[in-house]
Amino acid sequence: MMKNNRKGGANGLTGAEEIESVDKRNITGLFFARFLRSCSMNLQRPVLPTFASSLGADSEKMGMIQSISTLVALPSSLFLGRIADRFGRKIMFTASMVLTSLSRAIYGLSTNWVHFFPASIIGSISFRTYRPLSATIGAESTVKKSRALILSLLSLGWTIPGFFLPYIAGVLAESIGERAVIWISAGSAAIGVVTAWTIIRETYRFEPESLELRNSLKELLKPNNELKDIYLLKSIDSISYGIWMRGVLFMFMVDAFQVTPSYLGALSSLRNVLTAAMGPIAGWFSDRVGRKELLVISEIFGILTLLALVLLPDPKAIKIYYPVLVSGIIATWSSPYSALLAERTSMKNRVTEMSKIDFLSSLIGLPFPFLGGFLFRRFGWHAPFLLALPLTFLSLVA
């Protein structure tokens, strides 16, 4: 029987802000849940652009799908964060995994690019629920002195499948078809549902309150002034990265260079290997030097990536610099950002605050994936990157 190191018993913490020692069971369960969700994502991501193209979609249409799905998903994800703070992290985390599997299944059933709308909406709700809950469970299962390092090691559950699965997915897509690979992706997410429910235990649950809807909505939409620097940074990033990265960059490559699924898979695999190598170093550095310093480095990697995409728009060159630079963006952002938010929010409203930041920043960045696709279709390869570049410079000031 594993010793329970949580004040408050098996149902989770009821008031303490920190546990006494690392909850190894939760870290293990979260690792495997992330691993399986990552398997699902890394199987789908390299094949979705060419699958979408075969159904009549282009980068502009995919950008529109991204923007509309975000618009629909944002309000629901915000309230799901409040529900998680009131009734527990575990049940909502498991529900987000169910939605992931459902989204993949709808993609697999699609016979027209229009069918991507419900799949993308459900996937967006899943991701926006999963992300703050995963970070919260991880933070509440660790202690402050080693939090960023453990979170970066925990992120290996997310990055390890990316070592090989994107390339394998690309090769499989060229032999058995994109649709079959997407169904395998749905199965991986379904196994993740079982893993999350059976291994992870509740970290914290606040006694449910009756909340008057109008006051609750007003509270949810009001930014926390103590986190205004994070709101600003996330909002700028939501605009700049929305223009060129989130959901549209690989589609740009398909439209501009007619790259294959195996090419996109190789890009993703190389990026994930380097992210895994850099992540623990970034986490260690964050614990010793500071969270914000790592976030600044992440923005510098973003600027370098945009400059490279503008100056070297060649598939062979992209295959070299894209994995290096984008892995830098991810590794120096993920665990420092999660640790920073965990340490600047109260346990009682942690998921709500994380969801609120995501909601308001994403709302600001809502039209920009569509704008990126529009600029690409009308003005060519360089246009979205040139627009995003000064915005990313601005994030250094924030």
Give the pLDDT confidence of 351-361 residue by residue, as tens digits: 778 878 888 88
The angle subtended at Cα 187 by Cα 185 and Cα 192, nearest 5°, is 100
Q: How does DSSP classify residue 57?
A: -
Identify the residue whose tokens are 């060649």.
Answer: 314
pLDDT at 16: 45
CB atoms within 10 A of CB 3: 7
Burial of 77 (0-12, 13-18, 19+ CB in 10 A): buried
- Mean pLDDT for the stretch of residues 76-96: 80
d(CA 256, CA 265): 17
Tokens of 167: 């390339």
Query: Quick check: 17 pLDDT over 80?
Result: no
204 - beta bridge partners? 13
Query: Quick check: 8 pLDDT over 50?
Result: no
pLDDT at 213: 47
Query: Quick check: 165 pLDDT over 50?
Result: yes
pLDDT at 1: 32
Residues 238-247: b if buried by 16+ CB within 10 A, e if exposed: bbbbbbbbbb
Give the pLDDT confidence of 297-310 residue by residue, as tens digits: 999 999 999 999 99
Where would I find the H helices in 200-290? 213-221, 228-244, 249-257, 261-289
pLDDT at 187: 96
Tokens of 243: 């223009």
Give the pLDDT confidence of 250-274 residue by residue, as tens digits: 888 988 898 888 888 888 888 888 9
pLDDT at 15: 42
pTM: predicted TM-score of the whole model, two decimal places: 0.69
- Mean pLDDT for the stretch of residues 242-252: 81
Identify the residue whose tokens are 């998680």.
Answer: 84
CA-only gyration radius of the chain, Å: 20
In sequence order, the 6+-apart residues with CB closer than 8 A to the CB of 303 are 389, 392, 393, 396
Domain topology for 24-204+227-397: Growth Hormone; Chain: A; (1.20.1250)
**Higher-scoring residue by pLDDT: 321, 356:** 321
Give the pLDDT confidence of 271-291 residue by residue, as tens digits: 888 988 888 888 888 888 888
**Higher-scoring residue by pLDDT: 280, 7:** 280
